[in-house]
Amino acid sequence: MSIHPVLNKKHFAKRRKRVLAALGEQAVAIIPAASEQLRNRDTHFPFRQASDFRYLTGFDEPDAFLVLVPKHELGSCILFVRPRDAAREQWEGRRAGVAGALKLYGVDQAFTLDEMDAKLPELLAGREQVFAPLGEDMGFAQRLFGWLVAVRRLQRTGVKAPGTWQDSSQLLHEMRLFKDEDELQVLREACRISELGHVAAMRACRPGAAEYALEAELLHTFRQHGGETAFPSIVAGGQNACILHYTENRDRLKKGELVLVDAGCEWGGYCGDISRTYPVSGRFSSAQRDVYSVVLAAQQAAIDAVRPGASYDQPHQAAVQVLTEGLVDLKLLKGKVSKLIEKEAYKRFYMHRTGHWLGMDTHDVGNYKVDGAWRPLEPGMVLTVEPGLYIDAGRDVPKELRNMGIRIEDDVLVTREGSEVLTAAAPKTIEALEECVPNE
């Protein structure tokens, strides 16, 4: 059995080794897996592993824990897993158990979960710092506290108890922010399937189709390629596109309107995230063309600003500049562009930022600022570039522009030379979209 479609146990061991080196010999890290979440009554949401835990183990079962204890006599990398259980496995699915954890995942030691309360005080004894995710899960915090109390009780026997807790996020998330070649291979596939999903949705688009019919094309494509949706897809016809996170997807698409589709495939634990906006009947009206051209130019300016050394904020500033100029040309704003930007007048029509980090989580981890300043972009970072315009129905808005929502989103890798758009195959120019979407 392979544990990942691209990565093998050596990849995960390499990551753990980096963490062990960063911890030093005085620390221990405890990283929990996700638990199953109840959806309703006795039905659960599809299980999704905690990204930090999967990043370090590749292990995709719930409720496990990874404990990293540099140079401990039991081993440095220890997994606590659910025990084998023939009856439960017949109902709920296979478990690796202790033997599987050792053989398939390459850790030094494995124990069952019911051994945790006995083993943890032993693993914490003599260490100064505990790294763990703090402030995320009350249940985990309580257990962690319990283990610390247990090791403190041993103090009279000469055992030193850890005195500091540290959030493990800082260390792990800085690692996850930079994607290596193996991760990029996985991410490229997630992006490729996301592109295919968008093209399938475009081809299925026609007046009278339900928004969910386009969503179905996306989901079908993702599943056909062994992926799943990275987040609830947005298929927003007409004025629904002005609701930024519209996910009802129940209306019918109307001739003459645009549809905004924001969807991405998660494959091998990495997420694509693409938005495209196109005319339901396959031909842009002249007003739609004008607004679309502004957003497209803003997106290109933002992509051009992605290069090593540029600050994280530069693509956003580039997009805001072009969008504000466009809003003046479209007569949606009046005044001097520099003043309008200073007053943030564009926020009436562009109220979100231009992107986010992308990786195992759609809104991926990693700090955007360091010491209060936007951090410089560096090779290996991946971010989305997703400007938009959302025009309300105000009386001061020309009629033909009212209720129009447009967003264009691509996934961009910072390279040594500049940048690479990972989602460039999804049609985006007016010509390419009119070619792909059926017209009457």
Q: Note the residues at the interface with Mn ion (CB under 5 A).
A: 262, 273, 384, 409
Q: What does 374 bind: Mn ion, ligand GLY, none (CB cut-off 5 to 8 Å by kind)?
A: none
Q: Which residues pair with 129 in a beta bridge?
A: 27, 164
Would you say how long the chain is, in residues? 440
Please name the amino acid found at residue 304.
D
Which element (helix H / strand E) includes 110?
strand 109-112
Let me know if 262 is a catalytic residue. yes
CB 320 within 8 A of CB 350: yes
Other CB atoms within 10 Å distance of the CB of residue 431: 9
Rounded to a whole number, what is the distance in angstroms from the first to the last CA of the chain?
Answer: 50
Of the candidates 262, 325, 361, 364, the residue annotated as catalytic is: 262
Comparing CB distances to ligand GLY, the nearer of 108 and 228 is 228
Inter-axis angle of helices 211-224 and 181-203, nearest 10: 140
DSSP per-residue codes, 3-65: SSSS--HHHHHHHHHHHHHHH-TTEEEEEEPP---EEETTEEPPP---HHHHHHH----TT-E
Let me know if 220 is a catalytic residue. no
Which element (helix H / strand E) includes 191?
helix 181-203
Of the candidates 289, 352, 375, 402, the residue annotated as catalytic is: 352
Of the candidates 42, 417, 431, 440, the residue annotated as catalytic is: 42
Let me know if 390 is a catalytic residue. yes
**Of 184, 388, 387, nearest in space to 272 by CA:** 184
Q: 178 — phi, psi (to 5°)?
A: -100, 115
Tell me the residue nearest to ligand GLY as measured from the CB: 262
Q: What does 231 bind: ligand GLY, Mn ion, none (CB cut-off 5 to 8 Å by kind)?
A: ligand GLY
Let me know if 407 is a catalytic residue. yes
CB 406 within 8 A of CB 415: no
Interactions with ligand GLY, residue window 215-234 (CB under 6 A)? 231
Let me know if 386 is a catalytic residue. yes
Site size toward ligand GLY (CB under 6 A) is 7
Let me know if 246 is a catalytic residue. no
CB 388 within 8 A of CB 408: yes
Comparing CB distances to ligand GLY, the nearer of 52 and 262 is 262
Q: What is the contact mask toward ligand GLY in residues 104 to 143, using x (rule: CB under 6 A)?
A: ----------------------------------------
For 298-425, list the strands marked E by DSSP: 369-370, 373-374, 382-385, 388-391, 404-407, 410-414, 419-421
Euclidean distance between CA atoms 139 and 304, whole angstroms:
45
Closest approach, Cβ 90 to ligand GLY, in A, equals 38
Comparing CB distances to ligand GLY, the nearer of 56 and 177 is 177
Closest approach, Cβ 424 to Mn ion, in A, equals 16
Comparing CB distances to Mn ion, the nearer of 195 and 409 is 409
Of the candidates 61, 183, 257, 386, the residue annotated as catalytic is: 386
Other CB atoms within 10 Å distance of the CB of residue 290: 15
Closest approach, Cβ 361 to Mn ion, in A, equals 11
Closest approach, Cβ 386 to ligand GLY, in A, equals 6
Q: Are strands 265-267 and 228-229 parallel, antiparallel or unpaired?
A: antiparallel
Q: What does 317 bind: Mn ion, ligand GLY, none (CB cut-off 5 to 8 Å by kind)?
A: none
Of the candidates 356, 375, 392, 420, the residue annotated as catalytic is: 356
Q: What is the contact mask toward ligand GLY in residues 254 to 283, using x (rule: CB under 6 A)?
A: --------x----------x----------
Let me know if 85 is a catalytic residue. no
Q: 140 — phi, psi (to 5°)?
A: -65, -40
**Angle made by CA atoms 278, 361, 135, in degrees to the nearest 5:** 135
Interactions with ligand GLY, residue window 49-78 (CB under 6 A)? none
Comparing CB distances to Mn ion, the nearer of 78 and 408 is 408
Q: What is the contact mask toward ligand GLY in residues 406 to 435, using x (rule: CB under 6 A)?
A: ---x--------------------------
For 180-257, list the strands marked E by DSSP: 228-229, 234-237
Closest approach, Cβ 262 to Mn ion, in A, equals 4
Let me know if 352 is a catalytic residue. yes
Euclidean distance between CA atoms 203 and 124, whole angstroms:
57
Let me know if 316 is a catalytic residue. no
Euclidean distance between CA atoms 19 and 166, whole angstroms:
14
Of the candidates 36, 344, 363, 368, the residue annotated as catalytic is: 363
Closest approach, Cβ 368 to ligand GLY, in A, equals 14
Closest approach, Cβ 306 to ligand GLY, in A, equals 16
| DSSP code at position 334 | -
Q: What is the contact mask toward ligand GLY in residues 371 to 400, using x (rule: CB under 6 A)?
A: ---------------x--------------
Active site members: 42, 245, 262, 273, 352, 356, 363, 386, 390, 407, 409
Q: Which residues lie near ligand GLY (CB under 6 A)?
A: 231, 262, 273, 356, 362, 386, 409
